[in-house]
């Protein structure tokens, strides 16, 4: 595995004629990340590049940038075991040199839900992803659907700015009890970990309500809230039924909707979502 720390090293490592698959990450890798590597190969990539960069521009002033989990040695070993060809490990000043001023500004669909609670977050995501695309120049880039709004932001950016990359959105990787895999799960104590699947159960309750004919947003959100209230020690940030393109309440249920949630368990904030087919 080639390990590059500069932009020139990445560009020199790109083999001529290869079909490059790219997975951008913030490290502290888990099975969900590794499944994205498989998805890139399934989509036709024959050269796999992964980046690890904890992007300061997507963290708010009171968020967990300093404490975000890191384990570079373990990450390298996992990527070696998956036969990754290139690992890009840039420092902050490589990605954001002194004097850099240009950023990407995303649209209105990024303002609800995560955008409302994390101002500036998606501008930071879009900026770093576009920079990484320009550096790696992949043919395919893979993202997990756990971050549904992030996927929508990147998809819109690629279309609006004519970025020559094929996007693949892979299904959320889950633990045996439904908890979405996330690097932040490492923050959970053993007792908190037992409570964490309540978010997934609440979303499943919302999905079931919709498929059984409850086509009122407030009613479905009430069902989800009641389900999660059965587990003490969980602070609900939001439980919402939204249109997966606008992230606003759907006008009707005749096409796919998204049930999405964010909760806090102790110091850990978890997000998850489920797509519900049109009824």
Rounded to an integer, what distance in angstroms lies between the CA atom of residue 234 and that of residue 226?
12
β-sheet with 20-25: strand ranges across = 2-4, 86-88, 47-52, 20-25, 140-144, 166-170
Rounded to an integer, what distance in angstroms lies between the CA atom of residue 2 and that of residue 33?
19
212 is catalytic: no
Rounded to an integer, what distance in angstroms lies between the CA atom of residue 264 and that of residue 231?
12
Which phi and psi angles does 32 have, rounded to 5°?
-60, -45
Name the strand (E) or helix (H) holding 168.
strand 166-170
Rounded to an integer, what distance in angstroms lies between the CA atom of residue 119 and that of residue 131?
20
> Packing angle between helix 121-136 and helix 148-160, nearest 10 degrees?
60
- For residue 272, with 0-12 CB atoms within 10 Å meaning exposed, 13-18 middle and 19 or more buried, which class applies? buried
**Which of 33, 200, 212, 215 is labelled catalytic?**
33
Residues acting as catalytic residues:
33
């Amino acid at each position: 595995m080639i390990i590059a720390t500069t932009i020139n090293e990445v560009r020199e490592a790109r083999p001529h004629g290869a079909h490059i698959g790219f997975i951008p990450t913030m490290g502290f890798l888990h099975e969900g990340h590794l499944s994205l590597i498989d998805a890139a190969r399934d989509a036709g990539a024959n050269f796999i590049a992964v980046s690890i960069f904890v992007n300061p521009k997507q963290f708010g002033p009171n968020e967990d940038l300093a404490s975000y989990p890191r384990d570079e040695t373990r990450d390298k070993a996992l990527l070696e075991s998956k036969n990754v060809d290139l690992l890009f490990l840039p420092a902050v000043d490589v990605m954001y040199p002194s004097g850099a001023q240009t950023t990407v500004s995303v649209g209105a669909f990024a303002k609800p839900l995560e955008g409302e609670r994390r101002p500036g977050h998606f501008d930071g995501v879009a900026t770093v992803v576009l920079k990484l695309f320009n550096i790696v120049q992949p043919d395919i880039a893979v993202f997990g659907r756990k971050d549904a709004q992030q996927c929508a932001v990147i998809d819109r950016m690629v279309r609006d700015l004519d970025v020559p990359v094929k996007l693949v959105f892979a299904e959320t990787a889950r633990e045996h009890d439904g908890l979405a895999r996330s690097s932040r799960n490492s923050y959970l104590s053993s007792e908190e970990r037992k409570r964490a699947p309540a978010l997934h159960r609440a979303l499943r309750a919302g999905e079931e309500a919709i498929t059984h004919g409850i086509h009122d947003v407030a009613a479905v959100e009430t069902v989800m809230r009641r389900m999660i209230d059965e587990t003490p020690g969980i602070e609900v940030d939001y439980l919402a039924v939204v249109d997966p393109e606008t992230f606003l309440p759907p006008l009707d249920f005749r096409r796919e909707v998204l049930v999405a949630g964010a909760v806090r368990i102790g110091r850990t904030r978890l997000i998850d979502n489920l797509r519900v087919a049109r009824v």
